[in-house]
A and B are shown apart, each in its own frame.
Chain A
Amino acid sequence: MSAALGFALAAAVVVVAAILVVRSRNLVRAVLWLALALLGTAALYALLDAPFLAGVQVLTYIGGVVTLMIFGVMVTGRHTGAVAEIDRAGSLRGLLVAGGFLALVGGAILSTDLSGPPPPPPPTTAELARSLLDEYLLPFEVTSLLLLAAVIGAVVLARRRDPGLAGEPKSALPSLSSEGSLR
């Protein structure tokens, strides 16, 4: 009974926060709403007997991603609360497609028989760790490669032009003409 209540609460928090993320005019607030949504999700994971994941969620998502987003907002100078506009036409299109998707998937979910055998007990953290190095060794290694590539890529992309150095680093974008157009 209390479990159901917990679920309902967590779910509500996540949904409300999500909506606020996409509708908030102030970017900083939007980021913070995202943080709340992710927190709610972590609560859900905990309720679903996946405590390790809940912890990882908090650490990486909220601790890492949200922080990055804040940085992004700061760097791009929109932290003064300047308005991040939403336009009307895009709003309609978004509603249409989002609604369409929801209808489609929701319909699929509702019309599927989801009953099944009772599940085995959820894996412990130790078991998770072991499987990472056992069945999922290859994806594990590939993912580490992916992370490496992302790091290097992000660094290269975000480098600033620095004329002081010999062999001057170039910006990653191809050079534009004075108009800022390639045509």
Chain B
Amino acid sequence: MMLRELLLLAALLFSIGIYGVLTRRHAVAVLLSIELMANAANVAFVAFATLRGGPGEVLVLFSLAITVSEVAVGLALVMLLHRRYGDTVLDLAQEAKG
């Protein structure tokens, strides 16, 4: 029973994160939204691990490590962006324009 609600919570959090990624223009804001998404996944993992058994908790540890790496590199990129364009609105980086 609890599982259903927890999973729905995770789905909701994930959706909110998606909304943030698509909506926000500032690079750091996008990173924050990605954080939300990763966090939601972790919630799902833990829910399953506690209520149904399995390797969920260990996987959360790995997920944490990965997320942290990604944040580090992402912020480095933000710094580069800032240096190059003087602003961190993601729309500025348009090199891939057709």
- In the bound assembly, the distance between CA atoms of A41 and B43 in angstroms comes to 7
Assess whether B58 is in contact with A146, with CB atoms less than 8 Å apart: no
Assess whether A94 is in contact with B18, with CB atoms less than 8 Å apart: yes
Interface size class of A (residues with CB under 8 A): 35 or more
Q: Looking at chain B's contact residues, is the secondary structure mostly helix, strand, loop, or mixed?
A: helix
Question: Given A119-B51, A122-B57, A150-B73, A19 and B16 touching (CB < 8 A)?
Answer: yes
The residue that A157 contacts in the complex, of B24, B26, B58, B76, with Cβ under 8 A, is: B76
Chain B proximity mask over A139-183: 1 for CB below 8 Å, otherwise 0: 100010011011101110110100000000001110010001111
Say yes or no for A9: interface residue by CB 8 A criterion. Answer: no
The residue that B23 contacts in the complex, of A61, A86, A122, with Cβ under 8 A, is: A86
- In the bound assembly, the distance between CA atoms of A43 and B43 in angstroms comes to 11
Chain B residue contacts of A60, Cβ below 8 A = 64, 68
- In the bound assembly, the distance between CA atoms of A173 and B78 in angstroms comes to 12
Interface size class of B (residues with CB under 8 A): 35 or more
Q: Which chain A residues in 121-142 approach chain B with CB under 8 Å?
A: 122-123, 128, 131-132, 136, 139
B2 vs chain A, min Cβ distance (A) = 7
Closest to A146 in B: B69
Question: Given A22-B20, A147-B69, A154-B75, A14 and B13 touching (CB < 8 A)?
Answer: yes
Closest to B11 in A: A105
Assess whether B75 is in contact with A71, with CB atoms less than 8 Å apart: yes
Chain A residue contacts of B64, Cβ below 8 A = 56-57, 60-61
Chain B residues engaging chain A, CB cutoff 8 angstroms: 2-5, 7-9, 11-29, 31-33, 35-36, 39, 42-43, 46-47, 49-53, 55, 57-58, 60-62, 64-73, 75-80, 82-85, 88, 95, 97
Chain A residues engaging chain B, CB cutoff 8 angstroms: 7, 11, 14-15, 18-19, 21-22, 27, 30-31, 34, 37-38, 41, 44-45, 48-50, 52-53, 56-57, 60-61, 64-65, 68-69, 71-73, 75-78, 84-87, 90-91, 93-95, 97-99, 101-102, 105-106, 109-110, 114, 116, 119-120, 122-123, 128, 131-132, 136, 139, 143, 146-147, 149-151, 153-155, 157-158, 160, 171-173, 176, 180-183
